[in-house]
């Protein structure tokens, strides 16, 4: 085969990079704060055309590296800008890893005639999301399904298939549209004559199948999106920028009284709103506040253990003055040096209002903690939180999926005045205050929220679609060298003949 002319090589490389950048822009715009969610269904298509047709074959993985690295740069860097932590370099690191890891993907699909193109692409993406869900610094951040947080009518099957099921559907659609794009590209241009052409029948069959899957998903979602007439509880999330130090007990006590005057029966204080354990420090004052307001108070507090280790916990105080129990943060923010020595228990409190559980801030970015609380009987989960301004428009969106996955209501109160929300078991945001610049006046975010049932299949089955995708990804990794060996065998047989 003759070497490609230099000018044509550079044209292909430039156009390929531009297509990859286009995908990065589309994906960035699909996620909050831009939240142009329809773009997530097509965001990967320009990258796939660049990777499998436009880019010179030996540099094909540069397309996916540019797309994913660029998109994560647009998504993560603003979050951690100026923080000095290595997370600001994470997109570049991931791009470099993809550049190496994806170098064999195009040859694999060419060897197998693109028979596994859609399966391999979609399963590998969601399989990697499954792996990321176990990594303390990642969780469900940047999951493709998160873009649909504002569309509760479309996300209800998450209660069956978990967030990974929705992610798999999104990636199947992207890869099917990518396959169709490659088919159309081949009809107009043949930049690499030796590359197997895409079969029109495969494009048609996959298109029909995925259209049917989308219709079935939407129909199931609409069928499930029928909130029953459940008993409601008036809940309040206290929203105030306490500054540094974060504790502002007098202000939160004032907001608690305002919330109680508005009829709140459950009032959530933010994460580390109190310095010291209220069960042993200023206990009489907190009991008096609970009795005065007649409300259940979820009190977030921190207690110094050693010079660099604090307990980050939340306790629920009843109107009768009883501390119902203690929950320790399950997922500490390790990249910020946080620890959680009391984690590992998942209490649920049986009250006249319903069964109440608690999680803390970063716990909402992982699928496991809310599920463990729900398995223990929770109908409502209270979420003391302390976010920094750059994540105010993003963090609460994850909680929508925890609500739908587990069919429980969620009440999130934030200590920096950034994002406090109340969400029902169907992912509807009933009340919210999102103030990235902080809220020095303070407010109580209040809503009548229905109690959840906690009986969704996802509570029992967990992240089963994620595990299947991970198994599929591993299967293709095993099959790759097998396909190489078969190709060599065919070539040697052809030479011998």
Q: What is the C-alpha to C-alpha distance for residues 200 and 178, in angstroms, rounded to an integer?
A: 13
Residues 218 and 237 in one domain: no
C-alpha–C-alpha distance, residues 112 and 91, integer Å: 31
Q: What is the pLDDT of residue 3?
A: 65
Residues 257 and 387 in one domain: yes
Residue 310 has a pLDDT of 82
- Claim to verify: residue 473 and residue 389 sit in the same structural domain: no
Q: What's the confidence (pLDDT) of residue 179?
A: 97
Q: pLDDT tens digit string along 17-42? A: 999 999 999 999 999 999 999 999 99
Looking at residue 409, its pLDDT comes to: 97
State residue 378's pLDDT score: 97
Strand partners, 323: 317
Structure tokens at 241: 């920028």
Residue 26, number of CB atoms within 10 A of its CB: 21
How far is Cα 351 from Cα 368, in angstroms, rounded to an integer? 24
Q: What's the pLDDT score for residue 363?
A: 95
Half-sphere exposure of 304 (CA within 13 A, CB side): 4
Neighbours of 101 (CB within 10 A): 15
In a shared domain, residues 287 and 357:
yes
Q: Are 434 and 360 found together in one domain?
A: yes
Of 353, 350, 375, 348, nearest to 449 (Cα)?
Answer: 353
Are 184 and 259 contained in the same domain? no
pLDDT for the residue 7: 87
Q: Please identify which residue in the block is written with the tokens 């969106």.
A: 397
Are 158 and 96 members of one domain? yes
**How far apart, in whole angstroms, are the C-alpha atoms of residue 12 and residue 189?**
12
Are residues 216 and 293 both part of a single domain?
no
Domain that holds residue 373: 232-459
Give the residue ranges of the chain where pLDDT is below 70.
1-3, 80-88, 244-245, 335-337, 491, 493-497
* 475 and 431 assigned to the same domain: no
Domain assignment of residue 1, yes or no: no
Is 287 a domain residue? yes
pLDDT number for residue 307: 73
pLDDT on residue 418: 86
Shared domain check, 209 and 342: no
At residue 496, the pLDDT reads 59
Task: Report the domain count for the chain.
Answer: 2
Both 211 and 333 in one domain: the answer is no
> Do 402 and 424 belong together in one domain?
yes
Q: What is the pLDDT of residues 228-268, one digit of tens each?
A: 777 899 999 999 988 766 778 999 999 999 999 999 999 99
C-alpha 174/C-alpha 176 separation (Å) is: 6
């Amino acid at each position: 085969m003759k070497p490609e002319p230099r000018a044509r090589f550079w044209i292909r490389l430039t156009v390929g990079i531009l297509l990859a950048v286009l995908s990065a822009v589309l994906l960035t715009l699909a996620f909050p704060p831009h939240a142009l969610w329809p773009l997530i269904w097509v965001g990967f298509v320009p990258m796939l055309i660049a990777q499998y047709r436009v880019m010179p074959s030996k540099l094909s993985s540069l397309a996916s590296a540019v797309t994913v690295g660029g998109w994560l740069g647009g998504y993560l860097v603003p979050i951690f800008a100026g923080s000095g932590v290595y997370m600001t370099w994470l997109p570049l690191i991931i791009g470099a890893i993809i550049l190496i890891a994806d170098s064999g993907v195009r040859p694999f699909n060419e060897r197998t005639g693109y028979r596994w193109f859609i399966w391999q692409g979609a399963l590998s993406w969601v399989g990697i999301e499954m792996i990321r869900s176990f990594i303390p610094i990642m969780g469900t951040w940047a999951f493709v399904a998160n873009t649909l947080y504002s569309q509760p009518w479309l996300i209800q099957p998450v209660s069956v298939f978990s967030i990974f099921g929705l992610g798999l559907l999104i990636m199947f659609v992207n890869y099917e549209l990518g396959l169709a794009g490659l088919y159309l590209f081949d009809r107009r241009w043949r930049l690499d004559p030796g590359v197997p052409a895409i079969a029109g029948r495969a494009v048609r069959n996959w298109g029909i199948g995925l259209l049917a899957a989308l219709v079935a998903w939407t129909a199931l979602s609409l069928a499930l999106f029928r909130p029953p007439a459940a008993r409601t509880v008036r809940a309040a999330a206290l929203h105030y920028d306490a500054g540094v130090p974060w504790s502002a007990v007098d202000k939160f006590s004032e907001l608690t009284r305002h919330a109680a005057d508005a009829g709140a029966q459950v009032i959530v204080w933010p994460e580390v709103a109190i310095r010291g354990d209220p069960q042993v420090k200023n206990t009489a004052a907190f009991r008096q506040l609970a009795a005065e307001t007649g409300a259940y108070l979820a009190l977030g507090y921190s207690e110094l253990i050693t010079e660099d280790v604090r307990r980050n916990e939340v306790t629920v105080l009843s109107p009768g003055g009883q501390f119902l129990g203690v929950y320790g943060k399950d997922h500490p923010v390790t990249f910020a040096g946080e620890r959680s020595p009391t984690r590992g228990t998942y209490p649920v409190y049986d009250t006249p209002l319903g069964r109440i559980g608690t999680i803390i801030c970063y716990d909402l970015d992982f699928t496991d903690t809310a599920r463990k609380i729900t398995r223990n009987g929770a109908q409502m989960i209270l979420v003391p939180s302390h976010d920094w301004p750059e994540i105010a428009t993003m963090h609460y969106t994850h909680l929508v999926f925890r609500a739908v996955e587990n069919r429980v209501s969620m009440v999130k109160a934030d200590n920096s005045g950034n994002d406090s929300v109340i969400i029902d078991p169907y992912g509807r945001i009933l009340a919210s205050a999102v103030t990235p610049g902080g809220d020095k006046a303070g407010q109580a975010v209040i809503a009548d929220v229905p109690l959840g049932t906690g009986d969704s299949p996802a509570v029992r089955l967990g992240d089963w679609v994620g595990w299947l995708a991970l198994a599929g990804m591993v299967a293709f990794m095993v099959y790759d060298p097998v396909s190489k060996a078969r190709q060599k065998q065919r070539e040697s047989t052809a030479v011998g003949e």
